[in-house]
Amino acid sequence: MLTYTYSLPLVMASIIIAILAAFTGLALTNGISELSITRRKLQIGMAAIVIGGGIWSMHFVALLALKLPVSISYDLIWTIGSVLIEILMSGAALLILHFARRNWLNMSIAGSLMGYGIVTMHFVGMLGIRGCIPVFWLTGKLILVVVGPATGILAVWAAYRSRTRLNIILGSIIFGLSVSVIHYVGMYWTGFAALPPEEAIVTALDNGMLALWVLFSAFAICGFFLLTSATFLAPQTTKYVVENGPVLHDPASIAEETKEQASLALRVPYEKENSIRFINSDEIAAIQAEGHYCVLYTENERLFCPWSISNAMDRMPDNFIRTHRSYMVNVNFVSGFVRNKDNGRCMIENISELAEVPISRSRIEDVKLALGL
């Protein structure tokens, strides 16, 4: 077996790239539940490319840090295949996290997909090495089969059990470190055998060209990191209730929005007797998601609206707030607030079809601010 060493600066650079890529991808998906389905899918696609490309960059920066006594190159098909596999598996995990119910089972499945994506990308990328033969020891394979999904689940749990800034940062660090652990643990149980003298070496992608690819990839990741971190660290816009009236934006914009402007009623469509009719938004007490459509609750009726809950969120006036992934409420109809251990409820006044609206844990503080609590 060939002996090899590592360049410590490149090893540190690979770990930093993995953490930056993880943060950028997780930050890109923060708050996308408020977006339309099309925009949510676009954000997830961008995040998958960043995370997958970042993991690939980490892997190949680590390979550039590897110092072997022979000249090595990389097969183009295997190299491109490795990054595509990681992007697809990261995208599948993010789709589960942002379109399925976020419970322990789905979070474990998503984490396992991410972990196995990293492991698969590692081995596919290693099989693309030309100039020597990587030899994978059984011990390393068995360890990665366990470590891969375990670290993926841990990272997902840290980042998604509560979508706060601290959780996203913690999840990014865990995810970036898990990528590095998987790579270097795998490398510890990998040997490199010299090629037989008579075997020809076909150079597809030499170290210089690979370094150029990785340089561009790392540059793009760092650029995305700067853009997302600027938004991530910016003060969040919150809403406040003014004199028990409509909800206005943060204090800096209150001077620019009058109470009359904020309370302008919107004509909301609903279906009844095979026709489309309209109702003023100030007559609606709450909105509930119903598949790709939603239900409007008024004092005496339950109406079917062709809008999705995301579309309603974009269109409704500021006196409507999102309390749950499936509910919005008009603060003018809220008669009480109940806080439970991990969630809460808004009590609705004079609505026969709906007595209360659930509040998810992640939206408790926003609802309290909107209600002036």
Residues 208, 354, single domain; the answer is no
Mean pLDDT across 127-136 = 89
For residues 140 and 246, state if they share a domain: no
Rounded average pLDDT over 131-145: 91
- The conformation of residue 103, written as its DSSP 8-state character, comes to S
Confidence of residue 256 (pLDDT cuts 50, 70, 90): very low
User: What's the mean pLDDT in 161-185?
Assistant: 88
Contact 144, 183 (CB under 8 A): no
CATH of the domain at 279: 2.40.50.1020
Positive or negative: CA dihedral 277, 280, 284, 290: positive
Contact 51, 111 (CB under 8 A): no
In a shared domain, residues 194 and 273: no
Considering 216, 233, 250, which residue would you say is the last residue of a domain?
Answer: 233
Mean pLDDT of the chain: 81
Residue 241: the pLDDT is 39
User: 164 and 253 share a domain?
Assistant: no
**234 vs 132 pLDDT, higher one:** 132
Average pLDDT over residues 254-261: 42
Contact partners, residue 114, CB within 8 Å, separation at least 6: 89, 90, 93, 152, 155, 156, 175
In this structure, are 171 and 261 located in the same domain? no
Average pLDDT over residues 127-145: 91
Of 112, 116, 174, 178, the residue nearest 141 (C-alpha) = 116
184 pLDDT above the threshold of 60 = yes
Q: Tell me, what's the pLDDT at 126? A: 92
User: Which distant-in-sequence residues (6+ apart) come within 8 Å of 155 by Cβ?
Assistant: 22, 111, 114, 171, 174, 175, 178
Rounded CA separation 125/60 (Å)? 8
pLDDT for 96: 92
Q: Is the pLDDT of residue 245 over 60?
A: no
List the domain range (segments joined by +) for residue 117.
5-233
Q: pLDDT band for position 355 (50/70/90)? A: confident
What is the pLDDT, as a whole number, of residue 249? 44
What residue has token string 């698969």? Answer: 120
Residue 182 pLDDT: 92
Assess whether 289 and 259 both reside in one domain.
Answer: yes
Whether residues 153 and 12 share a domain: the answer is yes
Residues 254 and 188 placed together within one structural domain of the fold: no
- Select from 210, 233, 256 the last residue of a domain: 233
**What pLDDT, on a 0 to 100 scale, did the predictor assign at position 135?**
93
Per-residue model confidence (pLDDT) at position 225: 62
Cα first-last separation, the chain: 68
pLDDT tens column, 2-24: 888 898 998 999 999 899 888 88
Do residue 214 and residue 252 come from a single domain? Answer: no
Cα(65)–Cα(131) distance, rounded to whole angstroms?
A: 16
Q: Give 172: exposed, middle or buried? Use CB within 10 Å, 0-12, 13-18, 19+.
A: buried
Tokens of 132: 């020597």
Say how far apart CA 79 and CA 60 lie, in whole Å: 9
Q: What is the pLDDT of residue 273?
A: 80
126 in the same domain as 105: yes
Q: Give the CA count within 13 Å in the CB-facing half-sphere of 226.
A: 5
Please give the share of the chain, as a percent, with pLDDT higher than 70.
81
H/E element holding 223?
helix 207-233
**Same domain for 222 and 247?**
no
Q: Is the pLDDT of residue 362 over 90?
A: no
How many Cα atoms are found within 13 Å in the side-chain-facing hemisphere of 319?
24
Task: Give residue-wise pLDDT tens across range 290-323.
Answer: 878 899 998 888 888 988 888 888 888 888 888 8
Quickly state the pLDDT bin for 260 (edges 50, 70, 90): very low
Residue 310: phi and psi, rounded to 5, are -70, -40
Residue that is last in its domain, among 185, 208, 233 = 233
pLDDT recorded at residue 326: 87
Residues 274 and 220 in one domain: no
b/e code 34-73 from CB counts within 10 Å (16+ = b): ebeeeebbebbebbbbbbbbbbbbbbbbbbbbbebeeebb
Structure confidence at residue 254 as a pLDDT band (50, 70, 90): very low
Task: Specify the number of domains making up the chain.
Answer: 2
Task: Determine the average pLDDT of the residues in 201-211.
Answer: 60
Q: Give dist(CA 296, CA 355) in Å, integer.
A: 14
Token representation of residue 181:
């652990």
